[in-house]
C-alpha cells in the first residue's frame, strides 16, 4: 500500500499544513490557501471527514503588521500570532465559503491534552462539529502559550489530534516526502516511499526547519511515532498539482495499537516523578506482565500525588515503563520495599496493593 492508497481508503483524515505552504515572500498567500481548500473540498465530496491543523498565524500576522523578519521576542511573537490568527481564519472562511462550507476555529495548548477531562472534552467538541458538517481548523494558541503549556510545533499537535479523534490517517503537507538525504542539497537523494518502522537509519535522514516554521523532518518523525503506535498511518507529502497528496510522498504505516488510555499515558500526560525498581521488579514488569508492587521499589524521585503519571526506571536509570500511580511520592517512599500485607500498617489505612496497576501502565 502506498500513500495514495492510504488516502483513498481513509474516512476520517487529519490534515496538517505548514507555514511554507500558505505563504509567499513572508506573506500569507490567498492563492495558496485556495489551492489547499480546493483539494480538501475534493476529498470532502468523496465523503471523508476532515480536520485541518493549520500553521501560518505568525506568517499572516507578519503580513498584516508589515514585519520583515519573524519576531524573536516572546511578547511580540504572541501579539503577531493574535493578529495573524484572525487574518488566517478570514482567508479560510472566504475560500471555504465559496463551497458553502462552514469552518470552526479551535485553539489549543498542551494542557488541553495533558488533563484527561479536557482531552475527552476536546474529542466531544470536535465530534460534534463533524456531525454538524463543520470542518474544524486547529492551531496552537500561540497568543497565550508559554513554555510550560507549549506544544511546540503543529506536527506533534496534529498527531495528538489524530489519536484523540481516532482518525484513519494523518497527512502532513510539507515541502516533500522523506528522502535518503536532503533533496535541497542533493537532487539525487532517493525518496523513501514507505516506512514500516522508524530505525536509526531513518532518524538520520531528519532535515532542518524552515525560516518561518518551527517544524522539520525531525518533528515529523516524532509525530509518526505517536500515530504509528496508535494504529494510525501517516503521510508526509508536498501538495499535489491536482490532489492533496503528490507522488513525492512517504507513507509511515501503522505498526501497533495502543489503547487510547495507554497512548495518553505514554505520549501526552506529563511525567511528575520517577520510581526506581530493582532487577526483580524490572523482570516482572517486562517479562511477566505484572503490576508494580511496593516490594520491588528501591527509590522515589520527584513530587507527585495519586493519579499522576510517573516514569518507572531500573537502577541504571533506564526507562522500563510509564504509568499512573495509586500513591503519592510520600506514601511510596514509606512503603518502598515492603510487602503488600504491610501497606495498611505502614500508612494507617488500606489502599491499593499495586503502586502502579498494569491496566494503567505502558512499557517503554
Q: For the segment 318-344, what is each residue's pLDDT rounded down to a tens digit?
A: 999 999 999 999 999 999 999 999 999
| Residue 207 predicted with pLDDT over 60 | no
Beta 49-54 vs 12-17: how paired, if at all?
A: parallel
Predicted model pTM: 0.82
β-partners of residue 257 are none
Tell me, yes or no, whether 152 and 284 share the same domain. Answer: no
pLDDT at 167 over 90: yes
Average pLDDT, the chain: 89
Q: What is the tens place of the pLDDT at every residue in 23-54? A: 887 788 999 999 999 999 999 999 999 999 99
Q: Are residues 89 and 220 in the same domain?
A: yes
Predicted local confidence at residue 206, as pLDDT: 67
Which among 222, 239, 261 is the end of a domain?
Answer: 261
Q: What is the mean pLDDT of residues 13-21?
A: 92
More confident call, 134 vs 189: 134
**Residues whose CB is less than 8 angstroms from the CB of residue 225 and which lie 6 or more positions away in sequence, other chains included:** 198
Single out the residue in 261, 284, 311 at which a domain terminates: 261
- Give Cβ neighbours of residue 93 (< 8 Å, ≥ 6 apart): 103
CATH code assigned at 341:
2.30.130.10
Q: Are residues 180 and 319 in the same domain?
A: no
pLDDT at 211: 37
Task: In whole angstroms, give the CA distance from residue 310 to residue 294.
Answer: 14
Q: Looking at the structure, tell me whether residues 63 and 20 fall in a common domain.
A: yes
What does the pLDDT read at residue 71? 84
> Nearest to residue 327, comparing CAs of 344, 118, 279?
344
Structural domain boundaries enclosing 235: 3-261
**233 in the same domain as 140:** yes
**146: pLDDT strictly greater than 90:** no
Number of structural domains, the chain? 2
For residue 10, the model assigns a pLDDT of 96
What is the distance between the alpha carbons of residues 195 and 220, in angstroms, rounded to a whole number? 12
What is each CA distance from 73 to 69, 272, 296, 314, 360, in whole angstroms?
12, 30, 48, 41, 41
Amino acid at each position: 500500500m502506498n500513500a495514495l492508497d492510504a488516502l483513498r481508503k481513509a474516512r476520517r483524515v487529519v490534515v496538517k499544513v505548514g507555514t511554507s505552504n500558505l505563504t509567499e515572500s513572508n506573506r500569507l498567500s490567498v492563492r495558496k490557501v485556495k489551492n489547499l481548500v480546493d483539494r480538501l473540498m475534493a476529498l470532502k465530496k468523496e465523503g471523508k471527514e476532515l480536520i485541518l491543523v493549520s500553521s501560518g498565524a505568525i506568517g499572516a500576522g507578519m503580513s498584516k503588521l508589515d514585519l520583515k523578519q519573524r519576531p524573536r521576542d516572546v511578547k511580540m511573537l504572541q501579539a503577531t500570532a493574535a493578529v495573524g490568527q484572525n487574518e488566517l481564519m478570514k482567508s479560510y472562511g472566504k475560500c471555504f465559503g465559496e463551497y458553502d462550507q462552514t469552518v470552526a476555529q479551535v485553539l489549543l495548548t498542551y494542557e488541553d491534552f495533558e488533563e484527561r477531562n479536557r482531552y475527552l472534552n476536546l474529542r466531544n467538541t470536535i465530534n460534534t462539529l463533524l456531525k454538524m458538517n463543520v470542518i474544524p481548523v486547529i492551531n496552537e494558541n500561540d497568543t497565550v502559550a508559554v513554555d510550560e503549556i507549549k506544544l511546540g510545533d503543529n506536527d506533534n499537535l496534529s498527531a495528538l489530534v489524530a489519536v484523540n479523534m481516532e482518525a484513519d490517517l494523518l497527512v502532513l503537507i510539507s515541502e516533500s516526502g522523506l528522502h535518503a538525504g536532503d533533496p535541497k542539497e542533493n537532487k539525487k537523494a532517493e525518496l523513501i516511499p514507505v516506512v514500516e518502522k522508524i530505525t536509526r537509519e531513518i532518524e538520520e535522514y531528519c532535515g532542518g526547519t524552515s525560516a518561518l516554521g518551527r517544524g522539520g523532518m525531525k518533528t515529523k518523525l516524532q509525530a509518526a511515532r505517536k500515530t504509528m503506535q496508535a494504529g494510525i498511518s501517516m503521510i508526509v507529502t508536498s501538495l499535489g498539482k491536482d490532489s492533496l497528496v503528490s507522488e513525492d510522498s512517504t507513507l509511515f504505516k501503522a505498526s501497533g495499537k495502543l489503547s487510547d488510555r495507554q497512548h495518553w499515558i505514554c505520549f501526552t500526560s506529563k511525567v511528575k516523578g520517577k520510581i526506581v525498581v530493582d532487577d526483580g521488579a524490572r523482570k516482572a514488569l517486562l517479562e511477566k506482565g505484572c503490576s508494580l508492587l511496593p516490594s520491588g521499589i528501591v527509590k522515589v524521585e520527584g513530587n507527585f500525588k495519586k493519579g499522576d503519571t510517573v516514569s518507572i526506571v531500573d537502577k541504571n536509570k533506564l526507562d522500563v515503563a510509564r504509568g499512573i500511580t495509586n500513591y503519592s511520592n510520600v506514601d511510596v517512599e514509606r512503603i518502598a520495599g515492603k510487602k503488600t500485607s504491610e501497606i495498611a500498617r505502614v500508612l494507617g489505612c488500606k489502599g491499593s496493593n499495586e503502586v502502579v496497576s498494569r491496566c494503567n501502565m505502558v512499557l517503554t
